[in-house]
Amino acid sequence: ETGVTQSPTHLIKTRGQQVTLRCSSQSGHNTVSWYQQALGQGPQFIFQYYREEENGRGNFPPRFSGLQFPNYSSELNVNALELDDSALYLCASSSEWRGGWETQYFGPGTRLLVL
Amino acid sequence: SQQGEEDPQALSIQEGENATMNCSYKTSINNLQWYRQNSGRGLVHLILIRSNEREKHSGRLRVTLDTSKKSSSLLITASRAADTASYFCATEPQGGSEKLVFGKGTKLTVNP
């Protein structure tokens, strides 16, 4: 157990809808990263938040957006859902990013199915 | 984008045997990490090796890194059925906006 929690565990939506996924980071961690993992693939980096500011973004369209709150928990929002958005969404928390030395601790993920 | 490529894609061995997985990547990195994932759930961090390190050990795990060849290997010694999982390498590219870039993974099956 890493201490990183995600909700919900599973979610079914239809095309065009919007979804919000939530992540509570491990105690003492101020950085949260979000990843999308399609079936049979490795995780792909969506974006990272550090002290409530976006701190890096992968190759995902603007309809993927996020927030980090003062308690360092985070949300991932996806608008105008497409079938290809069906995936496991993972969040990972870490302590202050210092040139990559800090380990990321992953939550169990939210499995999103878009019909 | 997926920078790392694990090899093989799938590996099946008997309990007690050693398992070796390889990872190649494309750009200069700050560090390389190996993760394990059971049944499509969360990833568990196994080991991190920095770009100025060549080899690292943790319990039954041995990781090597060759930055000149842009490759790494993960060796699991004396494997157990509980080691059955998917294993991913992840790199942190130098100067990039992506924090961790994962490969597609190696699916390891350890038969009792």
Residue-level pLDDT at B94: 84
- Determine, for residues B42 and A100 on separate chains, whether the beta-carbon distance falls below 8 Å: no
Q: Best mutation site among A4, A33, A41 for testing chain B: the one with the most B CBs within 10 Å?
A: A41
Quick check: B42 and A41 CB within 8 A?
no
Over residues A56-111, the pLDDT tens digits come to 899 999 999 999 999 889 999 999 999 999 999 999 998 866 655 577 889 999 99
**Contact A3/B at CB under 8 A:** no
Q: Which two tokens stand for residue A93?
A: 């928390």
Q: What's the Cα-to-Cα distance from B84 to each of A76, B7, B40, rounded to whole Å?
A: 31, 16, 12
Residues 24-83 of chain B whose Cβ lies under 8 A from any Cβ of chain A: 30-31, 33, 35, 40-45, 48, 50
The 10s digit of each residue's pLDDT in A10-24 is 999 999 999 999 999
* Closest partner CB to B30 (pick from A48, A58, A99): A99
Tens-place pLDDT, residues B38-47:
986 889 999 9
Task: Sort residue B87 into left (φ over 0), alpha (ψ -120 to 50) or beta.
Answer: beta
pLDDT in tens, B17-76: 999 999 999 989 988 999 999 986 889 999 999 999 999 999 999 999 999 999 999 999
**Residue A35: per-residue pLDDT:** 96
Residues of A in contact with B43 (CB under 8 A): 43, 90, 92, 106
DSSP B70-108: TEEEEEE-S--GGG-EEEEEEEEETT-S-S-EE---EEE
